[in-house]
Amino acid sequence: MEHLKIKFSLNLSGHIENKNHENLNLSTEFKFKKKYIVKVDFDLDEKIHEYTSNKIKLYYKSLRKINFEIKNSNKSSYIEILAYTKNKSELYKILLNIINYVLSHIRNDGFIPYLDKIPLQEDKFLYHLYEWNTKIGLKKNTWIELVKYYPDFLVETLINSTRFKPITIKTDRWAYIEKALKYSLPILFQYELIVNVYEFTWNNNYRIA
């Protein structure tokens, strides 16, 4: 019997950058809390751009969103329980934890100071499931939207709650991000310290930095 899968995505603009025009399409797979296998990839424009910085030619693709897909890590039924329960707030919290786990490693291992976690908004869980375009995979290539409709006027009042500044993921730093995700490595204190200094400097808080 084929088990359920859940896929969702997070709107995130910016670009993936490399010193050559290859290896710009990044993806990885890891276990989360020993219950779920999570696949992560980036929705990118096909066009490759190039520019020169400090006499070094660099290439990049524009980033539109991060795509996630989760399934059970063994023969358990965690996904089925989350998908079929009437109260989808538990599903929302699991997806939020996965998103924030990935964002934390991109921020700290990728040295991106202005990438923050998404705050828990349990009273707005349906909106976020809608915003993330959450779908349940019933069988191969068959996906059903979990929240098919959300009132437009409510979307307009909430849309700014998870808006991010554009980010730049450098492929040489992606190797550190991927390793940390795959092997459940803690965020290194020295990385977190450096990123926090970057953030304070970015916000002109030089004394604190």
Q: What is the pTM of this model?
A: 0.86
State the pLDDT at residue 77: 84
Query: In angstroms, rounded to a whole number, what is the distance separating the alpha carbons of residues 144 and 128?
Result: 16
For a pLDDT cut of 90, what percent of the chain falls above it? 48
State the pLDDT at residue 78: 86
Residue 114 lies in a domain: yes
User: Could you tell me the maximum CA-CA distance found in the chain, to the nearest angstrom?
Assistant: 60
Q: Which residue has the higher pLDDT, 207 or 16?
A: 16
Q: How many CB atoms lie within 10 A of CB 1?
A: 3
- For residue 1, is pLDDT > 60? no
For a pLDDT cut of 70, what percent of the chain falls above it? 84
The whole-angstrom distance between residue 177's C-alpha and the CA centroid of its chain comes to 12
Residue 207 lies in a domain: no
The pLDDT tens digits of the residues spanning 146-193 come to: 887 666 655 555 554 556 788 999 999 999 999 999 999 988 777 777
State the pLDDT at residue 205: 61
- For residue 60, is pLDDT > 50? yes
Q: State the residue range of the domain holding 144.
A: 5-202
| Number of domains composing the chain | 1
Q: Which residue has the higher pLDDT, 45 or 204?
A: 45
* pLDDT tier, 209 (very low <50, low <70, confident <90, very high otherwise): very low
Query: In angstroms, rounded to a whole number, what is the distance separating the alpha carbons of residues 125 and 127?
Result: 5
Residue 208 lies in a domain: no
Residue 66 lies in a domain: yes
Residue 159 lies in a domain: yes
Q: Could you tell me which of 29, 28, 26 has the C-alpha nearest to residue 60?
A: 26
DSSP per-residue codes, 105-134: HHHHHTT-TT--PPPP-GGGHHHHHHHTT-
State the pLDDT at residue 79: 86
- The stretch 37-48 carries a mean pLDDT of 95
Residue 95 lies in a domain: yes
Residue 209 lies in a domain: no
State the pLDDT at residue 48: 93
- For residue 196, is pLDDT > 70? no
